Amino acid sequence: MVLAFITGSRRGRFLGIAILLTVLVLWLGYQTPLSTVRHDPFDLHTSPPSEVPSIDHEGPHHESPSQDVVEAEDILHPPSTSTTDDPELEPVVATTTTETTATPTETTSAETTTTPTPSEQCVGFEALQRKKPEPLSEGRRKFPYVRPPPECRKFRLPALEDLIERMRGVIHDPDLFRLFENSYPNTLDTMVKWRGYATKKDDTTGDVTETDEELTYVITGDIDAMWLRDSASQVYSYLPLLEASKEPDSLASLWRGLINSHSRYIIISPYCHSFQPPAESGIKPTTNAAFHQNSPNPPYDPKLVFDCKWELDSLASFLQISAAYHSRTGDLDFFGKYSWVNAVEAAVDASAAMRLGTYDKEGRVLPSAWTFTGYTNRGSETLTNNGLGNPVKENGMVRSAFRPSDDACIFQLLTPSNMMFAAYLEQASEIMQGLAEGDVNDKAANLTVAMRKLAEGIRRGVARDAVVKHRDFGDIFAYEVDGYGGANLMDDANVPSLLAMPLWNYTLSEKAGRMLKSVKHTAARSNSSTMTHPDTREEEEEDDSETSTSTSTPPEKEHDYAQIYQNTRKFVLSMANPYFAKGPALSAVGGPHLGPGKGWPMAATVAALTAYEDLAGFASSSSSSSRDEAVAEQLFAVLNSTAGTGVIHETVNAWREHDWTRAWFGWANGLFGELVLRIAEDEEKRGVLGSEEGLLGRSWQD
């Protein structure tokens, strides 16, 4: 028919050409890039197109229906070439860090070298993945090499490159090494979107000046926003490389910048979990269409906050990276210099307010410090009872409206988040105590007391209500409880999870709930000239002897937490857990976020990581073979779950390897790197590192 038009009259030829052009435009319209977002009017969960025909790879589990992604100049490292309007290209960024980097076929020869001269524009990470860069790994999986060229990496760390080269010599399987070298540096390579310094405005003159307060903005991967939990976990993966340094291009500087950014965000909105770029970055805020569909109270400013769900683990993650930095560097002065103390105060006040139950003693419904309703077609995206959630009876634990997966809690006393929060409250209180004893901050003494009392109350609540008897596994931890006796028996892949509990060592150590006399005395001195923190008013009325004993009182019930964890672990990694996804492609814990049958490689990684902790019970055996077998099972599962992409995904259909979500997910990739390093540490101690007796020295081709 078209041929007749072309060979006929002029009118026919014009009509034929128009039809051909229309077909061409329609065809091009379907050639959608991997990062394109499908719009959904109800929630944040969307699906980018698949790389494999007929399989729909769902989008980021945090993702907004509409995002305006804008690359901006890095204040520390301005671009050396002009920016481009092509969304597949990024400006090449010159860096002041000098280092030696290695391609898959070269080794480092010196500690520092001249920064490479960019020869071509840098492409976005997802575009780089689509190119499947060579050389491919030499094993049967043929993983591509998807690290950006050195001049295109967002943050370059010589110690990381040296570590990767050392691991090249001990990981003998080519596919396992390629997965490690792709995944472990992924956050530093691609997700440190901006680093710079905070500015300060003079209220009198209006002049804006740059301060020495470092700031860091880390995106999750394919979502241009910063989650407190994700960014903390992504950077925490590099803890083995952290050392004290004042250099602006050091990992310590990046870490301080992240703590400062978290501090700023928590002071702005302590009940929110994900945030926009710092104003100093010049990066345009990302549009989140869910802002008009959700109604949190108190409300938030979308120019500062990307999304707002009250997730207790977000505050726990802030304390985690704070305690880790202090432990590794001994840098106490940093915490007293900027806004860390005020951020901890905001976190303590916000969480303490969420300890209240639904009713007072007379049965009146109490107002909640935070409520949330959402216009959505997903039950996990809103809270019942007009934003209050299901009723809760106060027991000392902190209510969390949402889980670390961003799904609404069924019962708001979320056990793993409370455990993590209590553990890091205690660890971070050591920093606060140091500030108090050094008279660095007037609030520090009272906050030290408040942090430890809050942790102690959580421990009592967990001991009383979160340990339940399972008909097949005995005493286990419940994922969620309500204080009335209700319990949700399950586990979710996202960390904090019940499975991950040993990673923050939630045990009744001698420091649990401990209130040192020196802190109490310091608080008393401070209170003579400043306002008393609400959680310490009762303490002032007690004498020294009362203080030294009352705060060390054990929980109402004492438990064998090691045995309970081991029972819980067996439950979580079995079909008795309603969200354990079992299948030939991947058997791992999943969750309601992406539904039954979708395992999370992250959970398999956590199962292997925790096997090295004493709490898991493997250390008590006379041989390491049982533990190695457990770790090998999880390692092999993750290695086979990437669908040939050579990076770790968010979820994988348990029965179809090519049905996965998120091509660019930093958190899971960093965790996998942690696992490989943990295996290497263990095998070095046992003298089998690099040999066929160890996991890293064997072949993983079968």
Contact between 170 and 696 (Cβ < 8 Å): yes
Lowest mean pLDDT among 4-18, 325-339, 421-435, 589-603: 4-18
Q: What are phi and psi of 359, to 5 degrees?
A: -120, 155
Between residues 441 and 620, the one the model is more confident about: 441
How much is the pLDDT for 617? 92
Q: What percent of the chain has pLDDT over 70?
A: 75
Rounded CA gap, 501 and 617, in Å? 13
How much is the pLDDT for 15? 62
- Two tokens, residue 494: 């996202």
How much is the pLDDT for 620? 61
pLDDT confidence tier of residue 505, bands split at 50, 70 and 90: confident
Between residues 13 and 427, the one the model is more confident about: 427
What residues contact residue 18 under an 8 Å CB cut-off, 6+ apart? none
Q: What does the pLDDT average to over 525-553?
A: 44
Q: What does the pLDDT average to over 645-674?
A: 96
Q: Is the pLDDT of residue 586 over 50?
A: yes
- Two tokens, residue 5: 């038009």
The SS3 assignment for 108 reads coil
How many degrees, rounded to 5, is the angle at CA 613 between CA 256 and CA 426? 45
How much is the pLDDT for 625? 87
- Could you tell me if residue 439 is left (phi over 0), alpha (psi between -120 and 50 degrees) or otherwise beta? left
- What are the pLDDT digits (tens) for 21-63? 655 545 544 443 333 333 333 233 333 333 433 334 555 454 4
How much is the pLDDT for 118? 44
CA atoms within 13 A on the CB side of 187: 29
What residues contact residue 543 under an 8 Å CB cut-off, 6+ apart? none
Of the candidates 616, 428, 395, the residue with the CA atom closest to the CA atom of residue 507: 616
Q: Which residues pair with 259 in a beta bridge?
A: none
Contact between 479 and 473 (Cβ < 8 Å): no
Q: Which domains does the chain have, with CATH numbers?
A: 311-506+515-539 (1.50.10.10)
How much is the pLDDT for 45? 34
Q: In the chain, how many H helices and how many E strands?
A: 21, 19
How much is the pLDDT for 702? 86
pLDDT confidence tier of residue 90, bands split at 50, 70 and 90: low
How much is the pLDDT for 512? 46
How much is the pLDDT for 362? 96
- Two tokens, residue 184: 């472990």
- What are the pLDDT digits (tens) for 440-449? 999 999 999 9
Q: What does the pLDDT average to over 233-257?
A: 98
The separation between CA 201 and the C-alpha centre of its own chain, rounded to angstroms, equals 32
Rounded CA gap, 41 and 216, in Å? 32
- What are the pLDDT digits (tens) for 185-222? 999 999 999 999 999 999 899 999 999 999 999 999 99
Between residues 292 and 265, the one the model is more confident about: 265
Between residues 9 and 560, the one the model is more confident about: 560
How much is the pLDDT for 375? 85
Torsion sign across C-alpha atoms 264, 512, 489, 578: positive
Q: Is the pLDDT of residue 550 over 60?
A: no
Q: What does the pLDDT average to over 423-440?
A: 97
**Strands of 480-481's sheet, edge to edge?**
413-414, 480-481, 487-488
How much is the pLDDT for 668? 96
How much is the pLDDT for 12? 60
Between residues 514 and 149, the one the model is more confident about: 149
Q: What is the rounded average pLDDT for all residues in the chain?
A: 83
The separation between CA 653 and the C-alpha centre of its own chain, rounded to angstroms, equals 22
Between residues 27 and 122, the one the model is more confident about: 122
